Structures are given as structure tokens and as C-alpha cells.
Amino acid sequence: HSNWLPPPTRGPAMKSIVISRAPKCMCFHIQRRYYDAAADRMVKSAQIVAFSEIIDIAPFCAYTSRGSSMHMRLMSIIEHRGNAHAGHYVAYRRIRRSSDCWIVVSDDHVSAVSWDEVRRSQAYMLIYEAASWLGELKSMTSFLCYCTS
């Protein structure tokens, strides 16, 4: 007679990660390098990733009430220009928290850019800051920024 028991049966499970305390700054890294087995090498994806200027992280927070919101505003983007093995990083940055104007910084070169150019970048990192300072959120889906240098 054996004391052996079959392993317990497992039912459906769901894994989730939640934010326990809302950060003042949140960075998202977009993995652009992948291994191409057919070519037997690392390759960089040039796919454009859609991102929003304003995100609500409340649905991902552990201690928020239903219907509440915690907005974060996109403040910077890091872009890698090049391939999987070499290239150059540039930064897009909102000029001020209260501004809708953007600049692009590449080494010692700085110039004004539109939101359209920013959102077409091959984002490598997205940096959001808590938007609690925003009095009123506005729809910016078709807004273009015209900055003077």
C-alpha cells in the first residue's frame, strides 16, 4: 500500500500586478530588440507604437475607488535611431509642465517639434509624470504644437 497521492488539480488562475502607491514619475520601456531565428541575429523593430499624452493609471492601482482617476502626463520620450547594434539616442521633452510645446534634443542640437513629430517617433522609453497639477484635462488627439525657437 502506497501513501502516494495524485497532485492537486489546478483550476483557472489569473496573475496580476497592481501599483500600491502612485508614483510621481513612471517610465515605460519598449522592447525593440528581438532575436530573429531565421537570420540568426538580433534585430530592431521599427514599428511605430501608439501612445497617449495622458494616461489614467487608476485601474492598475490597488487602493482606488471605482470611478476614480489618477492621470499622468507624458513629459519625455527617448528614441533610438539606428539598428540593433549601433545608433544614437535623442530625447523629446515637453518644454514646461504647463506647456503643449515640445523640443527634440540630440547632443548639442535643440529644436522645436510638433506633437505629430513626437508621436511618430520610434519610442524606446516613455516618461510620464503625475498630472495632479493639471486643473483640467483636455482632449489633445488632434492638437498640433507650434513653437517658436
The pTM assigned to this predicted structure is 0.74
Cα dihedral angle (88, 142, 130, 61), rounded to 10 degrees? -100
**What torsion do the CA atoms of 48, 32, 53, 16 make, to the nearest 10 degrees?**
120
Q: 71 to each of 23, 25, 39, 110, how far by Cα in Å?
A: 11, 11, 42, 29
**Which of the two residues, 133 and 9, has the higher pLDDT score?**
9
Interval 13-65: pLDDT, tens: 888 888 888 889 999 999 999 999 999 999 999 888 999 999 999 998 888 77
